[in-house]
Structure 1
Amino acid sequence: MPHATREWEPASFDQLLRLFRVRPRVGSKKKLRQIDLAALVGVETRTLQLWESGERLPGPDNLQRLIGVLLAERLLLPGEEEQEARRLWETVVQAYEERPGAYRRYPSFDERWFRRLLQETTHAPVAEDGLHQETHAGERGKHTGSAYHNTPTNLRPHPTAFIGRGPDLAEIKQLLVHTQFVTLTGAGGCGKTRLAQRVGKDMRDQYVDGVWLVELATLTDAALLPGLIATTLAHQEQPGHPLLETLVAVLQTRRMLLILDNCEHLVEACASVAEHLHAVCPSLALLITSREALNVAGETVWQVAPLTVPARSLQPVTAAQIRHTEAVQLFLARVRLLLPHFELTDQNALVIASICQQLDGLPLALELAAARMNLLSLEQLAERLEDRFHLLTAGRRTALPRHQTLRATLDWSYESLSQQERRLFRRLSVFAGDCTLEAMEAICAWPATETDPAELTIEPGEVLGLLAQLVNKSLVLTVSAHGETGPHALRYRLLETMKRYGQEQLEEWGGKITQELFLLQERHARYYLELVEQADRHLRSSARETWLVQLRAEQENLRTTLAWSLTPQGELEVGMRIAGVLYLFWFHEGIWSEGRRWLEKLLARVPHHVESIPLVRAVHGLSILVWVQGEQQLAEHLAREAVALARRSGDDALLATTLRLLVQVELSQGNQKTAREFAEESVRLAREQGDHWNLASSLSVLGTVLQVQGDHTQAEQIYQESLRGFEETGDRWEQTGPLRSLGYLAWMRGEYELATRFYTRSIALCQGMRGTWLLTRSLEGLARVVCAQGDFPRTATLLAAAEKQRIALGAVVLPTARANYDDTISFLHTSLSSQAFEEAWHLGSSMSREQSIVYALGSDSDTFSKRPLR
């Protein structure tokens, strides 16, 4: 027997494939060449070479064909065929799931498919050259175990290539095999029809009685549905028998895949027919496409998402970064039909990424946009997407009318809604990004009043039911809020294209009922003002992280509200009140420049004679952001203005807050006496108010003054009291300040182990923060201690890691720390060779934020330096 022994045990797919390919075949002394195996499987030789080199993995369809060929060529051990096929399959599954970024599971080995294949293949004749006789051109599909090209179908070849969706295809096919009833749902233009046709094409070999597409888009009478199915299958009604009964009689014994395409406008009729056929036809598989699920027994719903788009980034975009995203691949493929030499380059990558992002990865929108590339440059196309519904009208003449323009596709969906569903849909366009159900209920619904016409009324209790319908009809997406749990974990959003359409509808209605648009914008602003002011009560407590997560999720809506407050229709005070709270959010999130821009825009609109608490808070917030960005002169001006405004306001808690920055300003100018007076006043006011968080913050500043004045003993006591105050309020992040200061005093005394404990505890507390300002200062403090202990390379690495984060943040070394920082850098240059310094500095500047924390907290820096930096 051939294959009697194995000289080695291959562990990976590529090794196993090479072993199988070079085995001697029955009836032939020749080993199967790569070119031969590729031809039999139906792939390019280069593809097979990549499989055998381990650079690429086959998709499930190609893997099935490959196994079919190996079986047909008698390259699997007799009696062990299933064991070896399963082993080959599982090596692919393992490799696939170990790949970075794998987010969907590779389908598992299908025993029923293989055993049927084995039964069919063992009866096939073998020719003298070892190749099965049916491997002539055009018949390679028979190696998968069925007469692929003899399977009847009405699926037509598509004129353009199918792009992406590999994991989706694999899972949908697995679902069809196991459930035999799958509905593909999704927004109009997301590619449901094309995906269903591709599934049908790939699975023809599994349905001996054919794969049949029933197109329902033009059918308007639900009663004609059974007749259209029968016509597609070339069956006629039998006299005296209902047509559905005739269909059942025919289909009960057939192994067939029936694709019902575009069911949303006939959803009740399709649901009834599909449920009945699924129940009584055991070998019939149903694949449905619809903008909403049928919601019947046995149905498995698969939500067809838009194509993947490049991630939004503030960093420069390169061709390599976006080349493999599905939306970019589709856009490029369609552009090349018009411009064959068009290439993705680093120069045009940003514009192409923007186009794909603006169009939400919707295949229809991308194809319509690509069709304009014979008239417009990329930049012109991107700019004109603001008016996308007039721009994207160049669909194929042979396409359905509703697929020839983007507007027609959305009109089709919108017109299928009830009046109340339309009302909620267009109102949802007031949201930026996504939102919670609670926000929808508060903003989009209000009961009827004497002043509001009936056309405006949605009762709050109606929202959940209407939302469910919009989700079911694929007009609203559900998304999980990252980092959130509880009532706000599930959020809802419109794709950008849907949102633009909803805004058009809202503006059209605004011409008829002018109150709706203005009322929605005002209700939106009031809701998010209330949310921010609720957050303000928690941002200085143990609940800070929870509320930062919630504010983070609402950033787009908060930006929209701030922008509205600056318009003639808006209310400036709303924006001032929001920004006066959000400065702390912007500070801790590390988005200083954005926060500064909003505060400057708002303050520029305030009349000179107006004074208010929101004004004080806004001026103070701006002074903080300007100070940490290194603009000392402007920060001083703003800090003094904030203190003066706070004194006149009579709000002692706010005065205690504003005085703290003025203390730092006075210290930077060498005015220690004035700084101490302000610090002691801040502490006194905070104590009188009974505000423990405010008191802890003011104590920390007073400790800094005492430290500068040389009274280290009293400074340490004050820092300890500050630390206890933050611990009592549960604010972990603000504990980093007194911990750094205690570390500094320990360093000054030469107690390096104690100083290290203070600094590393401070760094550990920074792990949950997005902003890096507090982390940067703690890393620099630890570097001083490490330098004093004589580990100069580690010192340089820590300082480089801190500098990288500080530069990315747009921050500077504070004036009070500049002298120590410069002295340490100078000392390192004299203590290390140029090469040693550059190597250590390069290591730190290559670290991510998370890596710098791991490095700082780790005891063995040599071990870390050998880890690859990603």
Structure 2
Amino acid sequence: MTEVTRASRRRPTGRLPAEVTSFVGRRHEVSEVKRLLSSSRAVTLAGMGGVGKTRLAQRVGQEVCRAFRDGVWLVELAALENPGMLPRVVLEGLEVRDRTASPPMQVLVDHLRGKQALVILDNCEHLVEACATLVGTLLRAAPELRVLATSRQALGIAGESTMPVSTLPLPEPGGPRPSVESLMQWDAVRLFTERAQAVLPTFTVTPGNQDQVTEICRLLDGLPLGIELAAVRLRALSVQQLLDRLDDRFRLLTSGSRATLPRHQTLRALIDWSYGLCSEKERLLWDRVSVFAGDLDLDAAEAVCSGDGLAREEIMDLVIGLVEKSVLIREEHRPGVRYRLLDTVRQYGRERLAESGQEGALRRRHRDYYRDLAARARRELFGPAQVDWFTRLHLEHANLRTALEHSVTEQDEARTGLAMASDLLYHWITSYYLGEGRNWLERLLAAHTEKDDVRGRGLWAAAWLAVLEADTDSAARLLDESRRIGDLLGDESVRAYVALYSGMIEMWRGETRAAVGLYEEALAGHRACGDPAGTALALIRLSLACSFLGDSPRAIALGEECLALCDAHGEGWHRAYTTMALGVEVWRQGDADRAADLEKQSLAFNRSLDDPLGAGVNLEVLAWIAATQGHFQRAARLLGAVDTLWRTTGASLSGYGHLAEYHDACERATGDALGEQAYAAAFTRGARLPYDDALGYALQEDTKEEGAQDRKPGRADQQPLTRREMEIAQLVAQGMTNKEIAATLVIAQRTAEGHVEHILTKLGFNSRAQVAGWIGARNRAAEEPPGDAPA
């Protein structure tokens, strides 16, 4: 007689392991998985190894167990190597004792038919085909069954819902330094702290170590397993020692829980497992894409990684395979899809690439690709593709930096690197990389000393950046050598740019008429060379100089000529600066309203391009206009906002020489009108505005905000936040995390994070609890009658 004993009859609630450590974060993910399970019978959590898929699945199982009459069951597959054993292992996980002669799959089907249960299949990636067949069979036989799988790639069955599981969120680098309390709102930091306290009970995050803790979490990409392994090392190391040694993370992070599988006990073993799941060509592509920094697009992967065993037409399918295996992370950007490697995964690939002996060749191919990209961007700069190029170069900044570093450090590559750094001149200027661009040019000029056309161009490019940083002495020295090279080679283009930037220096020195002569020389040279970008720059600067001399008709004519030139080429950036220059002249003529309109047009474009230098000049001119109109509170706030912007970018208005006089006059007039205390208060309020809010204020997008400074403190209607920020502050007060806020409002998590930081800055708070208290006070005040209302 045959018999099947079903232990589940004695324990219908299933079998899930008890949590032995705290479950950190993931509230939004838990909610999302529960939602998917309510509408789909098969849900797969997909993500890189060590990202926390198993813990997430187990937490979901615990929260939904009452919804499943016949229990929630965890079946661990990581140790299973033989796909043919899969049905039997699942039976064991369900605690079914099979004493029959029937095939295990049939026993499994018979057991689950009619059951209302959730089966969690954990670690399916190495058994994807077998798991897909099993799950498909079970779901057809058992209508009330749900399956939750964890894998590094989807199972690929009909009706499957896949949810990518990302690493834990981290503070963005380069942002304002948060307080310790607000830092602890980030899941990665909180996980590190809790695991550190488990091995070192006295550990705490303090103002003295918070930067190191944050950087440790960043270097580990917010990967939970990496963070847990790192925290264990605090038994023997200080936080700083741990950070210093993370470059060798695969050797350092080798101690995990002995209760887990060996590959989950070390970071290297975990990545080894992922590497082994890839095909030979996928592994080859993994190694090669590790030469990229930041992220990359498909074109770059095809250009750099093809050849020597990988055909170009194969790259797309291999990229798809690595995305499906959670090695490459797919991200949406405005120009299109890009792919990113976690830093830990990249370092592993680089080690493999170095072992293969191909690292040098791949680095050169990487550099050559981005050298050509920079050259194309320069050629197409003055035209309709301009904004797209600026956006792309911004996305590629990490790769551009890596390519330039190769040119600096490799023998006989400096000339190529100097040409590339010069080609990127507008990238340095229209972004936050002004100082970095100058540094690259100076390093490469020191390495390439031959007096050729590349050095001549590199010298005047570095000089423009020096002028923008108000270092006119250095700029003059650079231009002097560039002029000598231009004369030696008979290079009219070099001489024209030297004249242009020499004119800027003369304007800074107060020698306006000398500057006009140099600008006219530059204009003639650029026209002779057929250089529209140089021509536009000369027209803009000459227009500003003529305006300052009081020659209004010529200033306007030059500006209009530049607008026509830009429009003929479909160009926007030089046009925005031309509009700015015309705004200055119109303001000087006394038409403040039209001048403000012109500056706002220019600012709107500079904001869309994310050009902080152009935006800074616009804010300056709008402040002068406001003072002229008697709007001194607005003028002071704009002066404060632009002061913060100049300090942030490392630039100054001195790049426009004579315009500094207008700034000083505005500052004096505004201070005299408001008085020292009121001026300081308004200036500080503007200085504290986040960049995006400062631009919105300058554009007067929230007219209610204009009068906010006139309201009396303590009134319930006092509203320092925008409507969107108030909405988010209310959700913060409800205890929502940034992820939950993003999900509720259907916005990106980074957008939610930025809003919360802006709210804290505006209110002068350093914790979310303070925001909650402020919202509560406002709500109570709104319910009370005004003081002068009848009792």
- Per the TM superposition, whether the score is higher than 0.5 is yes
**Structure 1 residues 302 and 709: CA distance shift in structure 2, 3 A:** closer
Structure-1 residue corresponding to 2:427: 585
Within the alignment, does 1:348 sit opposite 2:200 as a pair?
A: no
Within the alignment, does 1:295 sit opposite 2:156 as a pair?
A: yes
Within the alignment, does 1:398 sit opposite 2:259 as a pair?
A: yes
Structure-1 residue corresponding to 2:115: 254
Indicate if the aligned counterparts of 2:75 and 2:119 stay in contact, CA closer than 8 A.
yes
Aligned residue for 2:90, secondary structure, equals helix
Deviating more after overlay: 397-406 vs 630-639: 630-639
Of 163, 182, 185, which residue of structure 2 is paired with 1:324? Answer: 185
Deviating more after overlay: 225-234 vs 184-193: 225-234
* Counterpart mapping for 1:285-684 below 5 A: 285-446=146-307, 456-481=308-333, 483-484=334-335, 489-510=336-357, 516-568=358-410, 571-607=413-449, 610-672=450-512, 674-684=514-524
Within the alignment, does 1:205 sit opposite 2:66 as a pair?
A: yes
Deviation at 1:521, TM superposition (A): 0.8
**Structure 1 residues 547 and 252: CA distance shift in structure 2, 3 A:** same
What is the TM-score when the length of structure 2 is the normalising length? 0.85
Structure-1 residue corresponding to 2:77: 216
Give the whole-Å Cα distance in 1 for the aligned partners of 2:58 and 2:705. Answer: 56
Give the whole-Å Cα distance in 1 for the aligned partners of 2:704 and 2:59. Answer: 54
Give the whole-Å Cα distance in 2 for the aligned partners of 1:155 and 1:318. Answer: 38
Of 570, 576, 583, which residue of structure 2 is paired with 1:730? Answer: 570
Identity of aligned residues (%): 35
Give the whole-Å Cα distance in 2 for the aligned partners of 1:246 and 1:789. Answer: 86
**Pairs aligned (count):** 703
Structure-2 residue corresponding to 1:706: 546
Give the whole-Å Cα distance in 1 for the aligned partners of 2:52 and 2:9. Answer: 25
User: Which residues of structure 2 form unaligned runs of 5+?
Assistant: 1-7, 712-718, 722-757, 759-791
Letter in 2 for 1:218: A
**Per-residue Cα deviation, 1:269-304 (whole angstroms, up to 9, x for no partner):** 222111111111111111112222221223222221
Letter in 2 for 1:393: T
**Structure 1 residues 151 and 629: CA distance shift in structure 2, 3 A:** same
Which one has the largest radius of gyration? 1
Deviating more after overlay: 330-339 vs 716-725: 716-725
**Per-residue Cα deviation, 1:48-77 (whole angstroms, up to 9, x for no partner):** xxxxxxxxxxxxxxxxxxxxxxxxxxxxxx
Give the whole-Å Cα distance in 1 for the aligned partners of 2:282 and 2:545. Answer: 62
Give the whole-Å Cα distance in 2 for the aligned partners of 1:628 and 1:850. Answer: 22
What is the TM-score when the length of structure 1 is the normalising length? 0.77
**Structure 1 residues 156 and 800: CA distance shift in structure 2, 3 A:** closer
Give the whole-Å Cα distance in 2 for the aligned partners of 1:579 and 1:717. Answer: 34
Of 592, 615, 624, which residue of structure 2 is paired with 1:775? Answer: 615
Give the whole-Å Cα distance in 1 for the aligned partners of 2:79 and 2:602. Answer: 67
Aligned residue for 2:236, secondary structure, equals coil
**Per-residue Cα deviation, 1:111-154 (whole angstroms, up to 9, x for no partner):** xxxxxxxxxxxxxxxxxxxxxxxxxxxxxxxxxxxx99964322
Deviation at 1:371, TM superposition (A): 0.6
Aligned residue for 1:566, secondary structure, equals helix
**Structure 1 residues 553 and 765: CA distance shift in structure 2, 3 A:** closer
Indicate if the aligned counterparts of 2:386 and 2:572 stay in contact, CA closer than 8 A.
no
**Structure 1 residues 688 and 286: CA distance shift in structure 2, 3 A:** same
Letter in 2 for 1:735: R
**Per-residue Cα deviation, 1:551-608 (whole angstroms, up to 9, x for no partner):** 111111111101111113572122112100112111111321111221111111113x
* Counterpart mapping for 1:711-722 below 5 A: 711-722=551-562
Letter in 1 for 2:427: F
RCO (CA 8 Å, sep 6+): is it higher in 1 or 2?
2
Aligned residue for 1:308, secondary structure, equals coil
Deviation at 1:708, TM superposition (A): 4.4
User: Which residues of structure 1 form unaligned runs of 5+?
Assistant: 1-146, 447-455, 511-515
Indicate if the aligned counterparts of 1:657 and 1:682 stay in contact, CA closer than 8 A.
yes
Deviation at 1:634, TM superposition (A): 0.9
Deviation at 1:730, TM superposition (A): 2.8
Within the alignment, does 1:811 sit opposite 2:662 as a pair?
A: no
**Structure 1 residues 763 and 264: CA distance shift in structure 2, 3 A:** closer
Indicate if the aligned counterparts of 2:469 and 2:651 stay in contact, CA closer than 8 A.
yes
Indicate if the aligned counterparts of 1:155 and 1:211 stay in contact, CA closer than 8 A.
yes
Deviation at 1:517, TM superposition (A): 1.4
Structure-2 residue corresponding to 1:863: 707
Letter in 2 for 1:463: I
Give the whole-Å Cα distance in 1 for the aligned partners of 2:248 and 2:643. Answer: 43
Give the whole-Å Cα distance in 1 for the aligned partners of 2:25 and 2:198. Answer: 18
Indicate if the aligned counterparts of 1:693 and 1:729 stay in contact, CA closer than 8 A.
no
Aligned residue for 1:635, secondary structure, equals helix
Letter in 1 for 2:320: A
Deviation at 1:349, TM superposition (A): 1.4
Deviating more after overlay: 325-334 vs 294-303: 294-303
Deviating more after overlay: 778-787 vs 195-204: 778-787
Deviation at 1:740, TM superposition (A): 3.2
Give the whole-Å Cα distance in 1 for the aligned partners of 2:310 and 2:411. Answer: 24
Indicate if the aligned counterparts of 1:535 and 1:547 stay in contact, CA closer than 8 A.
yes
Structure-2 residue corresponding to 1:798: 638
Aligned residue for 1:371, secondary structure, equals helix
**Structure 1 residues 576 and 154: CA distance shift in structure 2, 3 A:** same
Indicate if the aligned counterparts of 1:151 and 1:207 stay in contact, CA closer than 8 A.
no
Within the alignment, does 1:185 sit opposite 2:29 as a pair?
A: no
Aligned residue for 2:237, secondary structure, equals coil
Aligned residue for 1:847, secondary structure, equals coil
Deviating more after overlay: 273-282 vs 678-687: 678-687
Deviating more after overlay: 543-552 vs 744-753: 744-753
Structure-1 residue corresponding to 2:736: none
Of 3, 24, 27, which residue of structure 2 is paired with 1:163? Answer: 24
Structure-2 residue corresponding to 1:838: 680
Indicate if the aligned counterparts of 1:186 and 1:473 stay in contact, CA closer than 8 A.
yes
Aligned residue for 1:373, secondary structure, equals helix
